[in-house]
Amino acid sequence: MPPSIARNSIPNARWGDRIFAGLTRAAAIFILMLLGSIIVILAVGGWPAFRAFGPGFLISTNWNPVTEVFGAGVSVYGTLVTSVLALIMAVPVSFGIAFYLTELAPGWLRRPVGTAIELLAAVPSIIYGMWGFFVVVPFMSTHFEPAMIAGFHHVPVMDRLFAGPPFGTGIFTAAFILAVMVIPFIGATMRDVFATVPAVYKESAYGVGCTTWEVVRSVVFPYTKNAVVGGIMLGLGRALGETMAVTFVIGNANRITPSLFNSGNTIASLVALEFGESETGSLKLASLLALGFILFVISFIVLTISRLLLRPKFKE
C-alpha cells in the first residue's frame, strides 16, 4: 500500500471505530434509561396505592372498585401458582422432546418436528386464548375435571386441590395453556444445547457400555445444565407476564381457594380487564400501576435467581 493511502486510511478507520463505539454505547445507555423510566413510572404511579393501603396491599385479597379498597394478594397468588404449575407440566414434556430429537429421532424426522416446535413459539397469545376457551375449557369441564374430582374425592389433601364444580375455567386450565405456550421456548433451548455436546463425549460413554438414557443423564445433562436452567427461566418469564391467553380461561374471580379448578386472577389478566375502566388520577389506576410494579419486581427476582443458578461454581 502506498504511504499516502496508508496515512489517509488509518485516521478514517479510527473515526469509524469511534463512531461505532459511540453508537453501541448509546444503545446500551438507551436500554438502561428505558428500563429506568419504566420502573420510575410504575413506582410513581403506584405510590398512592402503596401509601393508602400500606404493606398490607401485597397480601390483601380485597378488590372492590365501588368502595375503592384494593389489594394485590389474589393476583400475586394466581400469577405465582399458574406459572409454577405451568413449569411443572412443561419441563418434563420439553425434556422429552429435546431428548427424542437429539438422541432417538431418525434424521428425516428431526427437522420437521424441530420446525413445528419453533412455529408454536410464533403463535400469538390471543390464538392460544381462543383455542383454550373453545377447545380446552369444554374438554376440562366434561371429561378431565369430573374424572379428577371423582378420583381424588377420598384422598387427603388432593381432595381439596381437585374439588369444586367442573366449570372448565380456572387456575389449572390457565396453567395448562401457559405450559403449552412455554414448551416451544424450553424445548427449543434444550434441543439446541443438547446438540452442542461434543460427539466424542457421547461416543466414549457408548463405548464403555452406557445406554442412551445413561449417556443423557451422565454426559449430556451435566454438560448443558446451566443452559437448560436458562431455558427454563426463559419459559418462566414468559409465563409470568402472559395476559390474553390467561384472561380467556382463568375465570377472572378475585378470590383465593385451595382448589386448582376454581377461578382466579393474575396480575396481567387483572390489569388487562380493569385498566380500561380506571379513571386518570383514581386510586384504582394507582393500584393497577402498583400491580405492574409488583410484577416487575417478581420478574426481577426470577432473573436474579436464574443468574445465581447460572453462576459457575469453582472448586478450590
pLDDT in tens, 188-223: 888 888 888 888 888 888 888 888 888 888 888 888
Nearest CA to 76 out of 227, 271, 261, 286 is that of 271
Q: Where are the domains of the chain?
A: 57-310
193 with 165: CB under 8 angstroms?
no
> Which residues pair with residue 70 across a beta bridge?
63
Grid coordinates standing for 270?
387483572
Query: What confidence score (pLDDT) does residue 120 get?
Result: 85
Query: What confidence score (pLDDT) does residue 11 get?
Result: 60
> Which CATH number is associated with domain 57-310?
1.10.3720.10
Query: What confidence score (pLDDT) does residue 316 get?
Result: 39
Nearest CA to 177 out of 114, 123, 227, 228 is that of 123
Is pTM beyond 0.75 here? yes
Query: What confidence score (pLDDT) does residue 311 get?
Result: 65
76 with 83: CB under 8 angstroms?
no
Weakest-pLDDT range from 261-265, 272-276, 303-307: 303-307
Query: What confidence score (pLDDT) does residue 13 get?
Result: 58
Tens of pLDDT, residues 107-124: 788 888 888 888 888 888
Nearest CA to 271 out of 241, 302, 227 is that of 241
Residue 39 corresponds to which amino acid?
I
Q: How confident is the model at residue 2 (pLDDT cuts 50, 70, 90)?
A: low
